[in-house]
A = this chain, B = another copy of it.
Amino acid sequence: MTAPPNIAKLRVAYQGEPGAFSQTAARQLLGDDAATIPFRSFEEMFQSVAAGDADCCVTPIENSLAGSIHRNYDLLLSSGLAILGETYLRIVHNLIAPPGTTLGDVRRVYSHPVALAQCGRFLRQHPEMEPEPMHDTAGAVRAVMERKQSGEAAIASEAAANIYGGVILATNVEDDPQNFTRFFLLAPPSASIRPLTEPSAQRWKTSLLLEIANTPGSLYRALGVFATANIDLSKIESRPIPGKPREYAFYLDVIGNVADAAIAQAIEQLRADADSVTVLGSYATSW
């Protein structure tokens, strides 16, 4: 896909360094022609969209091992951005070193501590390799490739190996092959950005934030609205509301588009009972 001339590239912000899993997710959602802009923190990434320095951003929102990232839900809520798309990325970790290094040479392995922990079995099988924490998986590859010191390697994505010219000495070094991260494409609600995942999608998902008083049966009654309309749920998660110990917020993902009459009607019914209902977005899903 080539951008037509005279049309500015789509600018998509992500957290991490080039080669980060978030950058791969951004490419999966928007293609290789989008300009991906790295930010050190999630706060700065959201800020760049608010300031108009980026058109949209791609953020991890949950992981099959680590769970939902509440902090990123909070940033999404306070940003006022809408979810325009989702994608799932299998997290494959690789041992990456400068060309010429062999597996037997490696003595120090640099990566983010979460990635090092996810590769515990491989590292235990190689007690000669000392794990060394870094801020970022892709940043670890960059550092190792810049220094080119003998015995140094990094654990990161294949994309990071390609960007920095590293060689993959071992692949699938993660303990658990069921390691998936879900990413959201976020933009101002008025944006006309359409992700590549849309045309092939069979159905739509709508993400909601629901706040209700925590009395026995209150959630049951709320879910009844969807059950009677035959609307399927793909996610439900309670989250305590800071400072309101007996009230809860719920993240709900339902199958359908908010433009569908059944979904719109269910949300209207929900509003009658709930303290608040926030529609975070409707987007194509391959789920």
Contact = CB atoms under 8 A, between A and B. Distances in A.
Interface of A: 41, 43, 62-71, 74, 112-114, 116-117, 120, 131, 133-135, 178, 214-217, 219-221, 223-224, 226-228, 230-238, 240, 242-243, 245, 250, 287
Nearest to A133: B133
A9 B143 CA distance: 47
Q: How many copies of the shown chain assemble into the complex? A: 2
Contact of A66 (B69, B215, B226): B69
A160 to B, nearest CB: 17
A250 to B, nearest CB: 8
A238 B238 contact: no
A106 B67 CA distance: 35
Contacts of A243: 178
B43 A120 contact: yes
Contacts of A133: 112-113, 133-135
A15 B28 CA distance: 36
Contacts of A226: 216-217, 220
A215 B234 CA distance: 10
Contact of A216 (B65, B71, B74, B230): B230
Contacts of A230: 216-217
A238 B240 contact: no
